[in-house]
Amino acid sequence: MLPTATHPSPSVDYAAVLAQIHEQVAHALGRGRVADYIPELARVDAQQFGMAVVRLDGSVFEVGQARTPFSIQSISKLFALIMALKSDGERLWARVGREPSGNAFNSLVQLEYERGRPRNPFINAGALVITDVLCQHFVVPEMAVVEFLRKLSGNASLSYDSSMAASEQGCSDRNAAMAHFMRSFGNLRNTVPEVIEAYCRQCAIEMSCVDLARAMTVLANHGAIPGSNKRVLDVSSAKRVNALMLTCGAYDASGDFAFRVGLPAKSGVGGGIVALIPGECGICVWSPPLEESGNSLVGSLALELLTTWSLNSIF
Ligand code: DON
């Protein structure tokens, strides 16, 4: 049964909401297809499901395998973007756009007629430009992303999985093709192998739903780490990142995802989706099988249940 919330209430019983969602998605676990174009990703158990909410006051709510680390893949693009914005600010937008692509995340076609400037920082081509920016600023860019995520999540032991990174690097012809193409337009400053290596390692970072939901509280809190005076982004940059997630965070399915879920979110082919409710909480859901656009099928459903049924009283 779906929960019925009839009275607007600022304090939500997230433990009950998550338990209910867990029950409601149980029948769909395993539906969709686990990503197998990166061999190491195909080995994951398709039945796993976890979800976590971390409120701005630090309280944590979780269900299922919310403490199991998984490969964050494209979710890393969100945090790499924040880092590149911190270092390059407005200059970044000369190299990458901010429009939904309407194409697959690894599509090459648009790059040619848009002269090597990717549509947005979340498709693979855009993320490669962002990684190139990080290569300009950090000696070991993937470790800079790891350090940043350790700080945001409060988990000092997280890192990337070298076998996953090597597995992706071994089949990265398509990403390398995009990188070469952009380099031919002067939109890549480092060599293609340097950028691809850093990119594959950054995508292979492993985090749990609880780690990621906590990391997302900085964006729910308009760019400041909750409970500290530390600001990661100014308020308007945080607003822009959230807007990009809403419009481009679920690739070719972004419009439908925004219609169904209505939250700024970012997905990864490891089956994770991060999201946030501004002023309220960071969220992460994980279920490995994907729908055809590359977003977690059950993860999208869980978020839709959260916003369309459980939390409609606070929107
Ligand atoms: O470059 C790739 O294809 C992967 N490392 C990341 C793709 C990804 O996560 C797209 N997400 N839905």
| Contact 105 CB / ligand 1 (< 6 Å) | yes
Average pLDDT over all residues of the chain: 94
* pLDDT over 70 (residue 148): yes
User: Catalytic: 199?
Assistant: yes
DSSP 8-state symbol, 116: T
Share of the chain above pLDDT 90, in %: 89
Q: Which atom of ligand 1 is nearest to the CA of 124?
A: 1
Whole-number Å distance between alpha carbons of 115 and 272: 32
- 41 exposed, middle or buried (CB, 10 Å; 0-12, 13-18, 19+)? buried
User: Catalytic: 76?
Assistant: no
Query: Which one, of 107, 134, 139, 136, lies nearest residue 120 by Cα?
Result: 107
Q: Provide the pLDDT for residue 105.
A: 86
Share of the chain above pLDDT 70, in %: 95
Q: Which atom of ligand 1 is nearest to the CA of 127?
A: 1
Q: Going by C-beta distance under 8 Å and a sequence separation of 6 or more, which residues neighbour residue 270?
A: 35, 41, 44, 70, 71, 72, 73, 75, 286, 288
Given 145, 146, 195, 199, the catalytic residue: 199
| Contact 299 CB / ligand 1 (< 6 Å) | no
Higher pLDDT, 155 or 1: 155
Given 14, 71, 77, 172, the catalytic residue: 77
- The pLDDT-based confidence of 12 (bands split at 50, 70, 90) is confident
- Give the model confidence (pLDDT) of 56-111 as tens digits: 999 999 999 999 999 999 999 999 999 999 999 999 999 999 999 888 888 888 89
272-277 sheet: strands from edge to edge: 60-64, 50-55, 281-286, 272-277, 265-267
- Give the model confidence (pLDDT) of 211-251 as tens digits: 999 999 999 999 999 999 899 999 999 999 999 999 999 98
**74-83 in b/e burial notation, b at 16+ Cβ within 10 A?**
bbbbbbbbbb
- Give the model confidence (pLDDT) of 295-314 as tens digits: 999 999 999 999 987 665 55
Residue 176 neighbours by CB distance under 10 Å: 16
Question: Which residues partner with 206 through β-bridges?
Answer: 71
Q: What angle do CA 154, 159, 161 make, to 5 degrees?
A: 150
